[in-house]
Structure 1
Amino acid sequence: MIEPAALLKDLVRINTTNPPGEEEKLLLYLERILQEHGIPYVYQESAKGRGNLLAWQLADQAEEAPLILMSHTDVVAAQASQWKFPPFEAQEVDGYIYGRGTVDTKQLTAMELTAFLALKEKEISLKRDVYFLATSDEESGSAYGLQWFLDHEITVGETTKTGRELFRGSDVISEGGGFPVVGGKREFYLCESGQKSCGTVEFTVKAKGAKGAFFTSGDGMERAMGLAEDIGKQKLDGRVLDTVKKFEQKLAGVQLSPMMQKILTAMKQNSMTVTMITGKNVNEVTLVCDVRLLPGFGQKYLEEVLKNLAEKWDCSYRIVSLSQGYESSPDGEMLKILEEATLEILGKTKEEAEILPFVSMGSSDGRFLADLDTKVYGYSPVYAWDMTFDSAVTMVHGINERIHRDSVVFGSKVLTLAVCRAAQSGI
């Protein structure tokens, strides 16, 4: 049986900082493990030194939709001089493993691979196909990762299909959750079951009657500042999703941290925030804005908001990018299985701990699956004494990112139990 904490250390020591990525080194390491366990796989190169690795265990006669264990292998940059320990050495101190990727998201790769291998070792009779997918490039948009995988064909067994066809209708365990919120004597394990759409828009404000860099009318900058102030003050529409209703009900009476209060507010409200103001001179000013929309609010709604602002301030706009938000069922069968496994490994009752679905403000590869009828759940559980949701947020892309080895083992046990139960026939 593979040791999860040792596996995580090995993954951290393979530097996959993106850019440039170079995830192939790590994927080849995973490839060797799969070979040792006699599990079929395929590595697809999406660019030099980059690609995606898919492994599978197929049911003799699939009764249910596939289960896909998905994680990304690239990490963001880390400046070694700011860290207590070198970010790519995976040093362990008092049980804590320090390194880039220990929370985002090589710990999930280690947990999922452990669970996937357990299916083979336990000789589970499968009622559904189970896949392990390790991707590249998530931190820089996934053009060489999941987006590439979805658009290309792959041969699994005797069947050739696109990645999009493989994912359609599946249950997916991905990143974005597993970090607890503690309320009194209860632990709520957050599970990401949805995401707001993320986008970037630009407004261009041109001065009227401008006569060159040295003879400006000045009104362009004035209107740009007025537009920025207007965007900052306006309150966009919102709604309460089913996931958020449950979230509020479960946490009623719990003293939430300022961080969780902000997250709860964001889960009910669309937002647009000015992130940059640029221009060669005052004759033409560009405002760049970050947009986050709840599932159910798409490009048509955003166009109406932008059109009204552009008409008011006599400027133009363009939508640079806009992903699609999604909400997986907060009552899904996979969620129940994850919760039961979590409680069993914790040795706690539902009165002491439970899973709590939430809608994320961030974005991950789950956004590319929104139109494929998938149910995506972000879950890599850790012990509450190791880190809560608040502390985990500060470590994602942060300095001195770390996880306790016991949490890696705990998360691996939870996912192993959940995956085996979700995949086993006759239960």
Structure 2
Amino acid sequence: MTAAPGSNAPTTKTASDEVAELLSDLIRINTSNPTHPERPAAEWVAEKLAEAGIESTILESAPGRASTIARVRGSNPDRKPLLIHGHLDVVPADASEWSVDPFGGEIKDDYVWGRGAVDMKDMDAMTLAVIRDWARNGVQPERDIVLAFVSDEEAGGRQGAHWLVDNHPDLFADCTEAISEVGGFSLTVGSDLRLYLIQTAEKGIGWLKLRAEARPGHGSMVHTDNAVTELAKAVTRIGAHEFPLHVTPTVRQFLSRIADVTGLDIDPENPEAALAHLGGMARMIGASLRNTANPTMLQAGYKANVIPSSAEATIDTRFLPGHEQELFDTIDELIGEHVTREFIAHDIAVETDFDGELVDAMAAALKAEDPHGIPVPYLMSGGTDAKSFSQLGIRNFGFSPLLLPPELDFSSLFHGIDERVPISALQFGVRTLDRFLRSC
């Protein structure tokens, strides 16, 4: 890391000073997918980069579905670039359920509140804060850093990262590694012991539409051929099914490290007993032990006294790396012969090893900011744009570092009500990212 030639003298303003304000401003740009396209947020990001002297390009996959791409030049052209990607879209929020305006970007009680505060405008803001701080102080990284603030992740990325990889792979083709969301955050397991979960794997996605068809009729008559009944049976079987336990390499390494640092007797072949020690994260970690399938939507009929000719349900299935076929074979058995299925969205599982210079740099940066912190790999139950960028041969890691209060139920805030992030966690994040990016 070197000072750029002809740079301005350092200023007193730091990344920590502005990260909460940046996040608040970004939250106030409503990018609820699919009703509010990301173009205003993409333009805002481009403006913040331009203020730092960094040129960017805005690309649209469809009207308003915009992504902002930029490259920070490094001092060593022989080093392969690092990709930092973050999505600009968020899931919708019902204001009546919140204690604050979900798109108000309110700063109160030492938190930044609003939709996207943890998924994932916090990482977008932290990245911008660090890059802008470097520009103010004439800092140049050793390797190029490619920045991708993308659209449509919350709908599977077909109009975001997937579209960029398919249509503009040259922008990322020389990148070998990437960091993004849902990793690097703390999990307190003792008074002076915190695990930092770095995502090295994530489940695949199969959003399914189930459909039953039958003869329609009058609701007052005896009717044994009923689409609603057939669909309800299939949905009930799926919702009640428990998939078998599978301990993947990432999860096995995660459990081993937890056993080492906590002294817990964890049986890697039956690790569920250890989940009680993980607090609110037990739901997320528990989902990394098996395939899952959850009914999420039902639709049938148009009048109380009409038996409909069809009924539909939506199922959110997630499969572990290496266990996709098992999941869909099981689903086909559970739905039975009178129900069909089709994909709404289908994407791969990804997994990489927890080793190498990049991982060492993450661990060193975390330890420098939190001597009691222990980095561990984990498999995330959800999905990210890593699925898209992995198609270019890029190793992907979830590394959005946050030091969280022990009492905060962090996993419940993803797509949850009163989504918020501590300002102190954001400031920890920019310090850690700065250390990491200077050394990686």
Aligned to 1:156: none
Q: Distance in 2 between matches of 1:12 and 1:124?
A: 28
Residues 269 and 223 (structure 1), Cα distance of their counterparts in 2 relative to 1, 3 Å cut: same
Residues 15 and 303 (structure 1), Cα distance of their counterparts in 2 relative to 1, 3 Å cut: closer
**1:180 equivalenced with 2:169 (yes/no):** no
Q: Distance in 1 between matches of 2:380 and 2:189?
A: 20
Question: How does 1:129-168 map onto structure 2 within 5 Å?
Answer: 129-153=144-168, 162-163=170-171, 166-167=172-173
Alignment partner of 1:241 out of 243, 248, 254: 248
1:315-344: CA deviations, max 9, x gaps? 433344321011122224322211211121
Q: Distance in 2 between matches of 1:264 and 1:334?
A: 24
Q: Distance in 2 between matches of 1:366 and 1:387?
A: 29
Residues 239 and 65 (structure 1), Cα distance of their counterparts in 2 relative to 1, 3 Å cut: farther
Q: Distance in 1 between matches of 2:395 and 2:25?
A: 31
Report the TM-score, using the length of structure 1 for normalisation.
0.83
Q: SS of 2:198's equivalent? A: strand
Kept after mapping to 1: 8 A contact 2:280/2:410: no
Aligned to 1:317: 341
Aligned to 1:392: 410
Question: How does 1:280-291 map onto structure 2 within 5 Å?
Answer: 280=301, 281=307, 284-291=310-317
Q: Distance in 2 between matches of 1:180 and 1:82?
A: 27
Q: SS of 1:7's equivalent? A: helix
Amino acid at match of 2:368: E
Aligned to 1:263: 284
Report which stretch shifted further, 407-416 or 263-272.
263-272
Shift of 1:61: 5.0
Number of residue pairs matched by the alignment: 403
Aligned to 2:434: 416
Q: Distance in 1 between matches of 2:119 and 2:228?
A: 40
- The percent identity for this pair of structures is 27
Residues 31 and 387 (structure 1), Cα distance of their counterparts in 2 relative to 1, 3 Å cut: farther
Aligned to 1:355: 375
**1:378 equivalenced with 2:390 (yes/no):** no
Q: SS of 2:316's equivalent? A: strand
Kept after mapping to 2: 8 A contact 1:205/1:286: yes
The root-mean-square deviation of aligned C-alpha atoms, in Å, is 2.9
Q: SS of 1:267's equivalent? A: helix
Amino acid at match of 1:181: L
Residues 236 and 40 (structure 1), Cα distance of their counterparts in 2 relative to 1, 3 Å cut: same
Q: SS of 1:182's equivalent? A: strand
Q: Distance in 1 between matches of 2:288 and 2:209?
A: 24
The unaligned stretches of length 5 or more in structure 1 are 154-160, 423-427
Kept after mapping to 1: 8 A contact 2:187/2:197: yes
Kept after mapping to 2: 8 A contact 1:267/1:359: yes
Kept after mapping to 1: 8 A contact 2:165/2:392: no
Aligned to 2:198: 191
1:50-109: CA deviations, max 9, x gaps? 411111123465334321111112223333344333333333223222222222221111
Residues 229 and 82 (structure 1), Cα distance of their counterparts in 2 relative to 1, 3 Å cut: closer
Aligned to 2:66: 51
Q: SS of 2:391's equivalent? A: coil
1:371-406: CA deviations, max 9, x gaps? 332222222222232764xx1222222222222222
Q: Distance in 1 between matches of 2:185 and 2:237?
A: 36
Alignment partner of 2:357 out of 310, 333, 336: 333
Report the TM-score, using the length of structure 2 for normalisation.
0.81
Q: Distance in 2 between matches of 1:56 and 1:333?
A: 22
Q: SS of 2:393's equivalent? A: coil
Runs of 4+ in 1 over 6 A off after TM superposition: none
Q: SS of 1:103's equivalent? A: coil
Q: SS of 1:230's equivalent? A: helix
Residues 94 and 386 (structure 1), Cα distance of their counterparts in 2 relative to 1, 3 Å cut: farther
Amino acid at match of 2:284: I
Amino acid at match of 1:74: D
Shift of 1:188: 0.6
Shift of 1:116: 2.7
Residues 84 and 279 (structure 1), Cα distance of their counterparts in 2 relative to 1, 3 Å cut: closer
Q: Distance in 2 between matches of 1:386 and 1:38?
A: 39
Aligned to 1:251: 258
Shift of 1:245: 0.9
